[in-house]
Amino acid sequence: MNPMEKNGWSPLPHSHEDLERTRKQPDTPQTRAPTYQLAWTDEEFMTRRELRAVRLQLELLKPEMILAERGIRSTVVMFGGARLPEPGGEAWAAKNEVQKKNLEANSKYYQEARNFAQLCSKQSAISNYEEFVVVTGGGPGVMEAGNRGAADVDAPSIGLNIVLPHEQAPNIYVTPELCFNFHYFAIRKMHFVMRAKAVAVFPGGFGTMDEFFETLTLIQTGRMERVPIILFGKEFWQKAINLDYLAEQGTISPGDQDIIEYADTADEAWDIISRFYEL
């Protein structure tokens, strides 16, 4: 469909029409000059420091428009460690034998993440995949398990990848047309929570904790509606963080710990969501 037919008639040429016209122009020193390129097709210009505000806007708009066009209204967010292996898989991130042992023991959460994504996706199917769509960071470990669980039941899932200094490719289970890539962490984080009806947090490291605490802060300060925040692995998280201690010290209010709930299995976590939304 011609964009004009979809978005309404205009007497002015659409940008894609002018782009095609420039591609058909004679090859001369003038048309090859960087200054002659249409501004939005000039990568060197678009990546200049002065264009940061424009790039921020584009990173917000592109996924927002695509998800809206797809009809996706709500998501279930899955945070968790990229280093957790599949049960029986290699603990590739281990730096010593202690880490190898613990990563292998925590691989059970890969399977629980996969199971949990299956349950979310089965619920999502009822709405023709407009509600409770699984979204992950698009990488390996728990993220892979989440997208894989959705794929197990032939459901779409979203991957919000980000460019990192070390190579990170999207896992093969993300729905290709819902696989996004970000430069700005801040915009990526916005997309995680903008449609979130629930947030499941699996064992992980700095990145997982960053995403978890940011979500907690949004809810605690009233900047985000209360949704189920579920920590998978009560033993792990009670050793990793001590919210009761923060409450005792007065750095959070008594009861702020109650924003979160714990689950050890996918069924327990889905029961929390089901009760919250009276499904």
The span from the CA of 8 to the CA of 199, in Å, is 38
71-277: what fold? Answer: Rossmann fold (3.40.50)
pTM: 0.93
The span from the CA of 246 to the CA of 176, in Å, is 42
Give the residue extent of every domain in the chain: 71-277
Per-residue pLDDT of the chain (279 residues; tens, 9 = 90+): 454 455 667 787 788 888 889 889 999 999 999 999 999 999 999 999 999 999 999 999 999 999 999 999 999 999 999 999 999 999 999 999 999 999 999 999 999 999 999 999 999 999 999 999 999 999 999 999 999 999 999 999 999 999 998 767 899 999 999 999 999 999 999 999 999 999 999 999 999 999 999 999 999 999 999 999 999 999 999 999 999 999 999 999 999 999 999 999 999 999 999 999 999
Question: 186 by DSSP, 3-state: which?
Answer: helix
**Three-class secondary structure assignment of 130-148:** CCCEEEECCCCCHHHHHHH
Q: Are 145 and 86 in contact (CB under 8 A)?
A: yes
The span from the CA of 233 to the CA of 270, in Å, is 14
Give, as one character, the DSSP assignment of residue 142: H
Give, as one character, the DSSP assignment of residue 114: H
